[in-house]
A and B are shown apart, each in its own frame.
Chain A
Amino acid sequence: MNEAVRGNSLWADARQSLRRNRAAMTAMAIMAVVCALVLLAPLLSAYEFDSTDWDQISEPPSLVTGHWFGTDDVGRDLFVRTLYGGRISLLVGLAATLVSLVIGIAWGATAGYIGGRTDQVMMRTVDVVYAMPFMFFVILLMVFFGRNILLIFVAVGAVNWLDMARIVRGQTLSLKKKEFIEAARAGGVSNFNIVRRHIVPNLLGVVIVYVTLTIPQVILVESFLSFLGLGVQEPMTSWGALVNDGAQAMESAPWALIFPALFLALTLFCFNFLGDGLRDALDPRDRRASG
């Protein structure tokens, strides 16, 4: 068989238009740097995240001492703490997003594909949960069961799945009406294979965009809790907890607020920009308009 021409899949097209999006590419580059820093944290500084340097309490940033971001009020190096805090924040972001992803896709795709009564009941449930003041519940949980990082994952993930479920369901419903799904049904393809071969790959674009936009939301929630003093436990820390500490000392030691705040905002900023860029790249609507 002679070699056939390679086609340009929609993925390839999306990659191309993403590459053209300068904001998104910059965001990606910055995110890569932040991730690298966070991962390599122990190698980058001579200090431990929980070791106290009694001679260097609330020191401003200095290249000489090696406390590049200064120290906090008990003399811990803020550079290392910021990076370690980033580990927690990013980890929570990823893990909780994963939780919401799994629940949301399963729930939304089931409701959308089966439709009818099942759909109504399932989506009604989502509506009800949606109406709950969930932040208050999360705060309660934190207060009553102690600050448990696992609990944060579960609590945040269990709430964010609602949006995911709605989006996936909507998308599934509209896909189901597409003629290529009908063609597959007319061609005797089983339900399972229709979902596997046709629905899931076509959902992927939306899901990727949404995941990118969920991660910063989750990070935000975690830092919100940490800010209230309900997040991770000392001596571990997260960006939110650091911002909280920094805010209390901001008049005497502004660096303790500024560096963690900068990392937090920058990361959220990048995720949001990337999400926007991905949405533009993967949005099938514009593709057809230009044709």
Chain B
Amino acid sequence: MDGGAARLDAHAHTAQNRTMLSFAFRRFLSAIPTLLILIALAFALIRVAPGGPFDTEKQIPPEIEARLNEAYHLDEPLYQQFGRYLTGLAQGDFGPSFQYKDFTVTELIAAGFPVSLKLGGLAMLLALLVGISVGTLAALRQNSRTDHVAMAAAMTGISIPNFVLAPLLVLLFAVTLRWLPAGGLGDGSLINLVLPVISLALPQIAYIARLTRGSMIEVLRSDFIRTARAQGLPGREIILGHALKPAMLPIVSYLGPATAGIITGSVVIEQIFGVPGLGRYFVQGALNRDYTLVMGVVVFYGVLIIMFNFLVDLAYRWLDPRVKL
């Protein structure tokens, strides 16, 4: 490399920052059509559904139905309704709820989401902490008894759905041992969340542990680890200084699907434990044909997942110096 090339290198860092920004921008732009498709899909799905929100057992007089339809703009052409919905969304307005007449969907989401966030966030944290440690440990002791036990446990964790596990945990810890409350939020203290969080986190723990083990073993086999050993670095330093970062890359990419998994899981977990979160609203809303509520939750969670994937992508690019932007 001659002088010219070296000068080019000197600019590499600022250039890299710039490409990072432009990547973020491009990636952000590409998320927009995804968002629109999501909203359109949710909108369309609900409009083609048979039966309106006011189909209840007792017959509503046609005039009243018409009035209701008008009040909720259900008499407008579809594209107008869609436009109205989009404009509302842009202002953070998900429209009124059809069932909970006194609330807007935004209010319902605002009420349910913090609970779900607490539950999901704790579950994710727990999953990452336990999953990564167990996986790393298993990888370091590959083919030892620790490894076999950990991996068998992980396999069990993947194979037992959390809606099977949750009742069993309740049966054991709440009903039989009476250590923990069986459901509800009680006085709001964290102890009420222990069982739901564990049930929600377990499958993810299992998955992350397996993923970590696999990627750690792969990394430990690589040539640069052999170099580090040839340099006389002690095991701890090799793991922390050389292996951990590359081994974590697959975990970072898994964060997106993991979030989606936890959100989905929270639907049943909230149901089982009677936690008043967003997942529960969704199920109730779906059963009650509460169009706007259901759509609101779907769109809200969809946006959340898309945003999260965006952040994960950025983090990945930032962590892996090799990725060309």
Contacts and interface: CB of A to CB of B under 8 A. Distances in A.
A268 B164 CA distance: 12
B103 interface: no
Contacts of B38: 131-133
A265 B267 contact: no
B260 interface: yes
Contacts of B272: 247
Nearest to B301: A133
Given A228-B267, A228-B271, A136 B298 contact: yes
Interface stretch (B46-54, B66-74, B137-145, B194-202): B46-54
A272 B286 contact: no
Interface in B229-276: 260, 263-264, 267-268, 271-272
Contacts of B60: none
Given A140-B45, A251-B175, A131 B159 contact: no
Interface size class of A (residues with CB under 8 A): 35 or more
Interface residues of B, number: 46
B298 A137 contact: yes
Nearest to B257: A130
A85 interface: no
A254 interface: yes
Contacts of B306: 131
A127 B298 CA distance: 18
List 7 A-B pairs, minimum CB-CB distance, nearest first.
A144-B49, A268-B159, A247-B167, A269-B159, A135-B264, A143-B286, A261-B164
20 contacts: A128-B37, A132-B38, A133-B263, A135-B267, A136-B301, A136-B302, A139-B267, A144-B51, A145-B49, A224-B268, A227-B163, A244-B163, A247-B272, A250-B167, A257-B171, A261-B164, A264-B161, A266-B159, A268-B159, A269-B159
Interface of B: 33-34, 37-38, 41-42, 45-46, 48-51, 155-156, 158-161, 163-164, 166-168, 170-171, 175, 260, 263-264, 267-268, 271-272, 282-283, 286-287, 289, 294, 297-298, 301-302, 305-306, 309
